[in-house]
Amino acid sequence: MPQKAFRFGVVAGATEGGAKWLSTARRAEELGYSTLLCPDNLNMPTPTAALAAAAAATTELRVGSFVLASPLRTARAAAWEAHSLTVVTSGRFELGLGTGRPEMRQQAGELGLPYGSGQERLDAISETVDHVRRLDGDGHTPVMIAAGGPKARRLAGLKADIVTMAGGVLTTREEMTGHVEEVRSAAGDREIEFAMNIWVVGTEVPPWIRGFIGVDAETLIEHDSLGLLRGDVDEMAAELERRRDEQGVSYFSVNGAFLEEFAPVVARLSGK
């Protein structure tokens, strides 16, 4: 299967107000990032509003959810929001979907929605994709599914345009290659773009990221973690080329904290 060209996203939330958020969007576009990706959490502005504003403040930058948590909306409501963003951004929206982290149980309760079993949350993702396809008509909202387990990888292979390889930050290269093959097997002849989130660029883990992933830089380095990218521009570019060769991943996202630090790699590899 031919290799896909590299593209890059930056993950950020509109937590510091509109001016800072729009500045981030414009800077991401200026630096050559393909996509501005927004997390989904009741403790920050909804991705719907944030991404619409970011798209309006830029010209070509794509925007995407990373990822809408299925427990926080009904499938029909999620599809409504997604299709609406596709319309108002003139096709620059990418719908990212996931089953949600465990803390979403409480947040779903605040919204009066059930958290649901793992299978029910996966079913909601599947239903959301079906609703979006119906609403799109002749259009097409690209769908990304965060695939962290075997059932999610199968669903992603069957229905996603983009599959972001979720899971633990200590997943080995060999394990990741196997996970990608699971998705490819389910996809058959369907063309898939594989994505991966890089938690840390360099060798220092910001405290809030360490709290989120549960390990320090030394542990990431010791385990050759795919969640970390380090070295100079040549070394980082070579590592991403290796990941594309070995795992087929061509779409990489980084946290907004590393927007500037990662930019030389974006300039080096975008579109190649």
Topology of 7-269 in CATH?
TIM Barrel (3.20.20)
Which tokens in the block code for residue 261?
A: 């630090």
Please, are residues 151 and 104 in contact by the beta-carbon 8 Å criterion?
Answer: no
Q: E strand or H helix at 10, and its extent?
A: strand 7-11
- CB count, 10 Å around CB of 229? 23
Span 165-192, pLDDT tens digits: 998 999 999 999 999 999 999 999 999 9
Domain residue ranges of the chain, discontinuous segments joined by +: 7-269
Q: How confident is the model at residue 1 (pLDDT cuts 50, 70, 90)?
A: low
DSSP string covering 110-149, please?
HTT-----HHHHHHHHHHHHHHHHHHHTTS---EEEEE-S
Rounded CA separation 129/124 (Å):
9
Rounded CA separation 147/134 (Å):
23
Q: What does pTM read for this prediction? A: 0.96
Q: How many CA atoms lie within 13 A of 2 on its CB side?
A: 4
Rounded CA separation 259/12 (Å):
10
Q: How far does Cα 65 stand from its chain's mean position?
A: 7
% of the chain exceeding 90 in pLDDT:
94
Span 125-157, pLDDT tens digits: 999 999 999 999 999 999 999 999 999 999 999
Q: If 0-12 CB within 10 Å is exposed, 13-18 middle and 19+ buried, where does residue 123 land?
A: middle
